[in-house]
Structure 1
Amino acid sequence: MSQEHPLDSDAVLLVGHGSRREKSNQQVRDLAAKLEPELGVPVDVAYLELAEPTISEAIDTLAPAYGTVTVVPLSLFGASHVKNDVPLAVQTARAEHADLTINYGSHLGVHPSIVDLLDERVRDVEADLGVDRADDDVTVVICARGSSDPDSNADVHKLARLLYEGREFDRVEASFIGVTTPLLDETLHTVTKKRPDAVVVVPYMLGDGTLTQRILDRTAEFDDEYPYVAAAAGDPLGTDDRVVDVLADRFQEARSDSVEMSCDTCKYKVELTGYEEDQGGARAMLRSMVHQAEHADRESVDDDPHVHDAPAKHVAVCTNQTCAASGAATVIEELRQGVRDAEDCDARVTRTSCLGQCGDGPMVAVYPDGIWYGGVTADDTDRIVSSHLERDRIVSDLVHQTL
């Protein structure tokens, strides 16, 4: 979408998750096309994984023509993609494009426009079922994907409560299709015990992909199992204008440096009971890199969206300023060549931004082993490949720290 503009002008980069289903990727482009006239600035798209362009590729394209790029994640909640993966890409891009201002916006999150859209989705189903919330007992179930991030899951419950407040529903419940509880099956059986006149399930998804279809199928099965309760599922959020409105707000917040994240309940910022092992900083960043590599290695369109086929080893080489000055670029190329030449080496070598060990580099981190090597030179790369990557023998004299 981008055209040539003065270097002091703005552009927006809308970042979707990415899918091997082209229909899902097209939805991101459709939202970008609707957002562009709303903002009056060019809006390009990028994807975290499984589709192109990547965030770095998109920013490389925008950098010569714009002075400011605002990155807005097309994510429903602030889970690991928003907290780790996109910031990693933004941080790397900032290091590579020193003359470019890159703002980072918030996810869609909890917003009045989203609540209004959910209400409309419920009304559509009520009309199809022939019920009226003013006269009938209508129970609503908001069904989200589910996450390992408690902050993200809590927002689903908050949306459910906001939808309930001031409306004539019998009850509104939050539920999930996977990862965490309560699962949709459990919620449907629970709400049925009160014998409502109707149960409306709203898939809290952007598109009609695999997970949305599971919600639709399970609701239809439930409707067959309980003939005394009218049950049906509504449409996902889609490319509704209210989603565009929220994205526009997220752009304005980022552009005015007023982005607010829920750090008080973020498992990467504070210690939450049951999540003590989930730490932020370099460990979270490297976990994101491994996650990206795992998705990049998936080959089947029909696989479950989050089934991983990862390399045995993931090697991250810091290419930030001090490490770069110490020869990191040569180290990363020598490691890549060593992996290519090795007879039995299942490893992926990527660059990363600062690992927080400035002055001790170039730093090389090997995962999932959690071994960090410091002061690595080009002459050391053969030993890292032949000993550690091929035979799982740590090069002890290079070890800087272990995680």
Structure 2
Amino acid sequence: MSSHDQTGAELSAAFDDEAVLIVGHGSRREKSNEQVRELAADLESRLGLPVDAAFLELADPSIDDALAALATVVSRVTVVHCSLFAASHVKNDVPLAIEQARSRYELEIDNGAHLGVHPALLALLDDRVAEVEVKLGVDRESDDVAVVLCGRGSSDPDANGDVYKLARLLYEGRAFDRVEASFVGVTDPRLEETLHDLSKHRPDAVIVLPYMLGDGVLTRRVRDWTDEFDDEYPYVDALAGDPLGTDSRLLDVFADRWQEARTGDVEMSCDTCKYKVDLEGYEEDVGGARAMLRALAHQESHADREDVDDEPHVHDAPEKHVAVCTNQTCADDGSTTVLERLRQAVRDAEVRDVHVTRSSCLGQCGDGPIVTVYPDGIWYGGVSPDDTERIVSSHLERDRIVSDLVHQTL
């Protein structure tokens, strides 16, 4: 049974001393910010739990301010993303803010997934198309109706790929002539190009869906381009639909994402995330919250060591310190071999400014061999000699955590 099938009273009784935080992007248009706050209020009624709203930028409160306020009244917060796709905000900015809040407040924080691909969103998109069909006087069963699902566009291929997946799912099982994916900016194909290509197929109608939450600048741009296309190609009726807005079906998605985070069942598409794996054309895009935390800590620790001429500081300590537990239990599990293999892999890869040392007991007996990497604060567990090259090539060379080996993060 999904969370939105439960009553608010049942959930409130089961989860005292907890709250939910919806995180939106933030907009210069207060109307868009109010939509996020409205969704938060509606979700509060649905779950029977306190639900606050926060924003990444351009609006208040910030994530940190919101978590600071919640830390005074609850002991656990679940973060729900008001983001359609998992791009840098979801993968980097929000996790970074959460990690910083965890270090500042006595607060347990569960981080959920973005809205992503969900049956409720497909049903909502189908209804948005139907609304425009009525306005145009067309019927997908008897007319050639083409649909363009237009996202904002991202530099993250994983996020752009989800637009195509949604477009395909919207096409499956429905009588549309075709459903195309397109974007407002950043990546191709742009909406103008997609509309021009569609004109060659001479459909009876083209319906453009702005796949956005708020009715903001980008939505107006989609409408303007669609109107221009309609004027330029008089043999095709074209009209843009409405954005997702505050439709109640969004609450179904939020409730599911809350439940997933609350039970530790968050699914992210890490196998196609440019911050986790090498993707053709994105090899230089390293990141993730851990990499940024390391960079921030590194920068702060040396900020007072610049001289008056702004000459770069000279390190008298390694950039990364790798410690391998060689106490009896870990040693019995092969940690001494792991230590030597790590040292050899570092030498072979010619990784600079990395110091690999042995450590006494790290208090994780039975989960070893344990390998720690600082200042990143990553502890790997159950490390075998065969894992050492991955730790060096992924983590030490490119700041990409070997996620399947992570024992804990500090």
Question: Are 1:21 and 2:67 counterparts?
Answer: no
Residue 103 (structure 1) aligns with: 110
| Among candidates 171, 182, 193, match of residue 175 of structure 1 | 182
| Among candidates 377, 396, 402, match of residue 314 of structure 2 | 396
| Among candidates 38, 48, 56, match of residue 46 of structure 2 | 38
Residue 119 (structure 1) aligns with: 126
Structure 2 residue matching 1:195: 3-state secondary structure: coil
CA 1:67–1:235: 2 relative to 1, 3 Å: same
Deviations 1:205-225 (CA, angstroms, capped at 9, x unpaired): 101111111100000000000
* Contact 1:69/1:102 (<8 A) preserved: yes
Structure 2 residue matching 1:173: 3-state secondary structure: strand
* Contact 1:6/1:67 (<8 A) preserved: no
| Among candidates 30, 55, 66, match of residue 47 of structure 1 | 55
Task: Note the 1:115-194 alignment, pairs <5 A.
Answer: 115-194=122-201
* Contact 1:84/1:284 (<8 A) preserved: no
Residue 387 (structure 1) aligns with: 309
Q: CA deviation at 1:100?
A: 1.6
* Contact 1:77/1:108 (<8 A) preserved: yes
Structure 2 residue matching 1:13: 3-state secondary structure: strand
Structure 2 residue matching 1:84: 3-state secondary structure: helix
Question: Are 1:195 and 2:202 counterparts?
Answer: yes
Structure 1 residue matching 2:251: 3-state secondary structure: helix
Distance 2:109 2:121 in 1: 27
* Contact 2:77/2:108 (<8 A) preserved: yes
* Contact 2:93/2:289 (<8 A) preserved: no
Task: Note the 1:157-306 alignment, pairs <5 A.
Answer: 157-281=164-288, 285=292
* Contact 1:157/1:174 (<8 A) preserved: yes
Distance 2:172 2:220 in 1: 28
* Contact 2:145/2:205 (<8 A) preserved: yes
Q: Which amino acid aligns with 1:111?
A: H
Distance 2:237 2:198 in 1: 12
Q: Which amino acid aligns with 2:308?
A: S
* Contact 2:96/2:293 (<8 A) preserved: no
Give 5+ residue unaligned stretches, structure 1: 288-315, 319-362, 366-373
* Contact 1:73/1:82 (<8 A) preserved: yes
Give 5+ residue unaligned stretches, structure 2: 1-12, 320-352, 354-397, 399-410
Q: Which amino acid aligns with 1:13?
A: L
Structure 2 residue matching 1:396: 3-state secondary structure: coil
Q: CA RMSD in A?
A: 2.2
Distance 1:158 1:228 in 2: 29
Q: CA deviation at 1:96?
A: 1.1
Structure 2 residue matching 1:113: 3-state secondary structure: helix
Q: How does the TM-score come out when normalised to structure 1?
A: 0.73
Distance 1:201 1:78 in 2: 23
Q: CA deviation at 1:255?
A: 0.6
Post-superposition, which runs of at least 4 consecutive aligned residues in structure 1 deviate over 6 A?
A: none
Q: Which amino acid aligns with 2:44?
A: E
* Contact 2:95/2:289 (<8 A) preserved: no
Structure 1 vs Structure 2: percent identity of aligned residues?
Answer: 64
Q: CA deviation at 1:6?
A: 12
Distance 1:247 1:8 in 2: 19
Q: CA deviation at 1:73?
A: 1.1
Deviations 1:58-90 (CA, angstroms, capped at 9, x unpaired): 011001211210011100000000000000001
CA 1:317–1:31: 2 relative to 1, 3 Å: same
Q: Number of matched residues?
A: 309
Q: CA deviation at 1:47?
A: 0.6
Residue 71 (structure 2) aligns with: 63
* Contact 2:206/2:237 (<8 A) preserved: yes
* Contact 2:152/2:218 (<8 A) preserved: yes
Distance 1:125 1:247 in 2: 26
Distance 1:208 1:14 in 2: 19
Q: CA deviation at 1:10?
A: 1.3
Larger Rg: 2
* Contact 2:154/2:160 (<8 A) preserved: yes
Residue 328 (structure 1) aligns with: none
CA 1:281–1:205: 2 relative to 1, 3 Å: closer
* Contact 1:7/1:67 (<8 A) preserved: no
* Contact 1:146/1:180 (<8 A) preserved: yes
* Contact 1:122/1:200 (<8 A) preserved: yes
Residue 364 (structure 1) aligns with: 299
Q: CA deviation at 1:397?
A: 4.8
Deviations 1:247-292 (CA, angstroms, capped at 9, x unpaired): 11100111111000001111111000010001134685269xxxxx
CA 1:126–1:100: 2 relative to 1, 3 Å: same
